[in-house]
Structure 1
């Protein structure tokens, strides 16, 4: 899709987003205009009401002016003065954000996602300006700059975030603006980037947990106070269409109610009018509007109300503990108590900012007089949330166990180091360079069963001396070192399977550099002998294990050979040649005498001429012997070719099938 097509798509997305939000209000009001007012009122009044409600739902301040008669009929003090509505019905904002995120995912599929986001945001801003102008009248005055900015932000920010997330998931290249932002971020040291990233993740997760619990609490309160809510519906006398409109309006404020419940879980609670308070400690209410949903408000405090404060505490501890392995893995060698404490502090700050933002969005003015103060206090809620989440997160990072599985130490491959003298230290360094005997045996494949490997180990049983210190005599030269070999002579080398052992492993002593000091003390010789004995013991253990495995394989081979001999005897007919002296009275096992034909008795069937191995291999080096055709059997009887029994005397399951 080219740039112009992306721009057109973005404009259509903006129109659909605004149209859906306005339609949610305009359709019920239009039905109310038709059924309740009988089309006797100008429809323009309902259009302006729908526009103002949509703008209020996005946080736009709208000022209403009531006539003197309407203000007097309301009975509310201060109703004659201009009434400013600043409490946002966040349900409409949530719908706009959701549609904006969907549009951002579509923009990410094009090559001009920046153009799509900018055009879509600008289109929403223009539509907000149009609604603000059309909704302005003598009774309502929306703030025009807010009508331009706030709906555009509710659309543009989710679209940008969704587009960037899709870009990262699909490994798409970053645009110029995103590239500059990433360059600035990469200038921050990696350690502090890890700390800040952990704070963003853990703080967001903790806040999401608290908000989720708040939503569950709101649901249970509505279900538990169902009778009070229905009573307030009946007292409103709104009718069917009016009841539907009232329900839609309350659903628009449902995110605000969840924000109030979040502040209640944190501790400070919220207010519905000046001087009122709803918190876990107690509830103090004055005159409130007769909105049905207010019937779910708790009428008094709870005995164990303070236990609800454990919700953000547990959320902070859980977020810090679950995400701790990620922080440990990212920090690596730079991991320290200070950095973990900083990460916990960042978690508390992020949680406080987010929770305070939720409280700020769900607070404002809802009417004249004492209703000018509705909702939680954002600063107090945010500060307590940062404390309740940050401290448990720090504790979880300090005392939690790593969930990262570290490599286990292999105790079967120990290396011994002597650091008291230079010669032994040099020998140990040579051992580390060449590898241990078990490493060489493992490379040779001694512990594997899928392939065959051969190796040779030469062991010297005389003391190890240097060439310049001692010259072997004739007696020593006569005794060659013992050699242990398997399958073949040492001279034969199989390049595919044989692995050459290091020199010190074949001689049974660690290698000593040529430039080592010639002077050797008895203490040094003792240490070298100790190392040699340990290595020799390890080699003996490996050799014994290999010998045991070889014996086991040989036993299995003998068993298979015996089974093959048994099968060959059965195939070659050795059982048929064995005389059967035991009487058998069963009629189906009766063997009558074979008749003589032309005075000659038919010979017994010869045994199978080949062995089982020759039969399987396909023997073809034996001349075909002439086939002797036996005389024909007497008419009326057919004989079985194997047991020489008439077929009519055979059991039914041994009679030939399909040859008659």
Structure 2
């Protein structure tokens, strides 16, 4: 019964995750149709357009084919009538991934996290299949298996990672807890702590990497605000059109954050074939008339190469955090284990570089024919740059000698190895000294007073009956709790 309830709640969470993404697309599309064309909404066309945008937001590449009547009216060359659209608005994928991670944490804090994961993933996959089958769009087609598999992975991977991490950190029983205990038996408690702290260090670096990209994008928007406004005014869009453009740019805002982070790392990004936007130099041609692209500078200065120190600082911060926690909990392991320090630094660098390469891969793609088929950062270059820079910072902090290695007595207590030397004289009187001070037989003997009896400790008050406060499903974790929390 409990497994069924957990699976049912997870299925509801999965359905909400899919519905929220669709609603954020369908609502403005309906308003655009009604107020822009002055007619009742054509729900079949609206649904097809909504499903195409939803699939693109979940990393599904679309094969766009423009109709001949549109080519004639707009004067577009027939060679550009068909192209691939794969640059994803990562805001939709981030929303789904966040809701999936929330579901994974809730499932893990129950006694049936496996059932919760299965129920949620199966329901979201079924919804993705229904969306792909009912929203076929001849103008923006996608392979059916990709339209089902990629959204399902966007939901399943964060949900599984969140559930496994929560089980690893909190559970005392279960499959993940047994695996954790078995790993601890193989590599020891200090080795297990090193694994956990390495994961924490990678999280610090990746979070700081994305945060630095967001900060740089904010500065660029403020500094080049007039260019952005000029591009917006050049479009001559009415209020409704400007609103649609603004919503589209908001959907692509996380994508631009990754571009800015790649710029900080050094390799930069491209906005078309044979173009480069990097601190070492910028070479761009004619940009698409998108207002948000006005933040791209026409030229750069060599001083911007100092931005590469940001990943180095993030690696140093991660190394310092890991070293501090290991020093506090396992001083001997971190003091004596030069090999352990090297492994930790290398692991943080490799995993951080891999995460940066993955973000770069998700933030790249195609937005049109010809030169616009290559847009975004190069994953391999970004991952390598971030890995090397983080390795430098983490290695510096983890390689610093400890007080024990320097031979400083002041820092010896930091490692928990300082012990006071025994004194040559004892403070308690010896037997001979006691005999010398004993009273003579002629002196009256004074009996010492008897020590008073210790007072009786009061009995603890009776604890109230707590049977009514027990959870419906007692959980084996620390602190108990209900699986439905």
Please state which band the TM-score falls in when normalised by the shorter chain.
0.7 to 0.9
Task: Name 1:611's counterpart in structure 2.
Answer: none
- Deviates most, 273-282 or 319-328: 319-328
- 2:422 maps to which of 414, 417, 420: 414
CA spacing shift, 1:303–1:69, aligned 2, 3 Å: same
Q: Hey, what does 1:9 align to over in structure 2?
A: 9
Superposed displacement of residue 458, structure 1: 4.6
**Residue of structure 1 equivalent to 2:91:** 91
Deviation for aligned residue 1:146: 2.3
What corresponds to 1:246 in structure 2? Answer: 245
Do residues 313 (structure 1) and 321 (structure 2) align?
no
| Change beyond 3 A, Cα 1:481–1:24 | same
Cross-structure match for 1:275: 274
Q: 2:338 is matched with which residue?
A: 337
Return 5+ residue gaps in structure 2 as ranges. Answer: 404-410, 454-485
Residues 283-317 of structure 1: per-residue CA shift (max 9 Å, x gap): 11112211110111112112411111111111111
In the TM superposition, what is the alpha-carbon distance from 1:391 to its structure 2 partner? 2.1
Distance 1:33 1:124 in 2: 28
Provide closer, same or farther for how the CA distance between residues 41 and 68 of structure 1 changes in structure 2, counting only shifts above 3 A.
farther
Residue aligning to 1:482: 436
Match of 2:187 in 1: 189
Distance 1:359 1:341 in 2: 27
> Where does structure 1 lack aligned partners over 5 or more consecutive residues?
417-435, 442-455, 461-479, 498-660
**Residues 135 and 141 of structure 1 are in contact (CA less than 8 Å); yes or no, is this contact kept in structure 2?**
no
Partners of 1:124 and 1:224 in 2: CA distance: 42
Partner residue in 1 for 2:291 = 292
Specify the alignment match of 2:138 in structure 1. 138
Q: Work out whether 1:62 is the aligned partner of 2:70.
A: no
Structure having the higher Rg: 1
Does the 8 A contact of 2:331 with 2:416 survive in 1?
no
CA distance in 1, matches of 2:41, 2:209: 46
Distance 1:194 1:180, change over 3 A: closer
Distance 2:36 2:401 in 1: 64
1:379-418 superposed matches below 5 A: 379-399=380-400, 401=402, 405-407=414-416, 409=418, 413-415=421-423
In 2, the alpha carbon distance for the partners of 1:216 and 1:59 equals 25
Q: Which residue of 1 aligns with 2:464?
A: none
Q: Which residue of 1 aligns with 2:201?
A: 202
Does the residue aligned with 1:87 lie in a helix, a strand or coil? coil
Contact 2:104-2:160 within 8 A present in 1 as well: yes
Look up the match of 1:449.
none
Tell me how far apart the structure 1 counterparts of residues 168 and 183 of structure 2 sit (CA, whole Å): 16
CA RMSD of superposed structures (Å): 3.1
1:540-592, CA deviations, whole angstroms, 9 ceiling, x for partnerless residues?
xxxxxxxxxxxxxxxxxxxxxxxxxxxxxxxxxxxxxxxxxxxxxxxxxxxxx
Deviation digits for residues 346-391 of structure 1 (CA, Å, limit 9, x no counterpart): 1111111111111111111111111110000001110111111112
**1:125 alignment counterpart:** 125
Distance 1:2 1:341 in 2: 46
Deviations 1:253-279 (A, max 9, x none): 111111111110110000000011100
Shift of 1:493: 9.5
Is the partner of 1:347 in helix, strand or coil?
helix
1:431-477 Cα distance to aligned partner (Å, 9 max, x none):
xxxxx724xx5xxxxxxxxxxxxxx65546xxxxxxxxxxxxxxxxx
For 2:482, the equivalent position in structure 1 comes to: none
Question: Partners in 2 of 1:378 and 1:277 — Cα distance?
Answer: 14
Determine the structure 1 residue equivalent to 2:49.
Answer: 49
CA offsets, 1:501-532, max 9 Å, x none?
A: xxxxxxxxxxxxxxxxxxxxxxxxxxxxxxxx
- Decide which moves more: 331-340 or 270-279: 331-340
Distance 1:379 1:337 in 2: 30
**Secondary structure, in 3 states, of the residue corresponding to 1:314?**
helix
Q: Give the match for residue 569 of structure 1.
A: none
2:55 paired with 1:22: no
The CA deviation at 1:211 is: 1.7
Number of the residue aligned with 1:437:
426
Measured against aligned partners, the alpha-carbon deviations of 1:146-174 in whole angstroms (never above 9, x if no partner) come to 22222222223333344445556654532
How is 1:565-644 mapped onto 2 (pairs within 5 angstroms)?
A: none
**Residues 484, 25 of structure 1: CA spacing in aligned structure 2 closer, same or farther, 3 A cutoff?**
farther
Q: Distance in 1 between matches of 2:191 and 2:74?
A: 58
**How many residues are matched?**
438
Q: Check whether the contact 1:321–1:400 (CA below 8 A) recurs between aligned residues.
A: no
SS in 2 for 1:189: helix
Q: Return the offset for 1:120.
A: 1.0
Maintained 8 Å contact 1:132/1:147? yes
3-state DSSP class of the match of 2:39?
Answer: coil
Residue 3 of structure 1 and its aligned partner are, at CA, apart by 3.2
In structure 2, relative to structure 1, the CA distance for the partners of 1:273 and 1:72 (3 Å cut) is farther
Higher relative contact order (CA 8 A, sep 6+): 2
Matched, 1:302 2:301: yes
Question: How many Å separate the matches in 1 of 2:290 and 2:238?
Answer: 15
Deviations 1:238-263 (A, max 9, x none): 32222222111111111111111111
- CA 1:170/1:306 → structure 2, altered by over 3 Å: closer, same or farther? closer
- 1:78 Cα deviation from its structure 2 partner: 6.9
Query: Where is the helix percentage greater, Structure 1 or Structure 2?
Result: 2
Is 2:168 the counterpart of 1:214? Answer: no
**In structure 2, what is the Cα distance between the partners aligned to 1:322 and 1:138?**
53
- Cα distance, 1:68–1:11 mapped onto 2, change above 3 Å: same
Q: How does 1:172-187 map to 2 (within 5 A)?
A: 173-174=173-174, 176=175, 178=176, 181-182=179-180, 185-186=183-184
Q: Using the alignment, how far apart are the partners of 1:484 and 1:215 within structure 2?
A: 83
Change (3 A) 1:380 1:496: farther
- Provide closer, same or farther for how the CA distance between residues 193 and 179 of structure 1 changes in structure 2, counting only shifts above 3 A: closer
1:83 aligns to what SS in structure 2?
strand
Query: How far is the alpha carbon of 1:75 from its aligned partner?
Result: 6.0
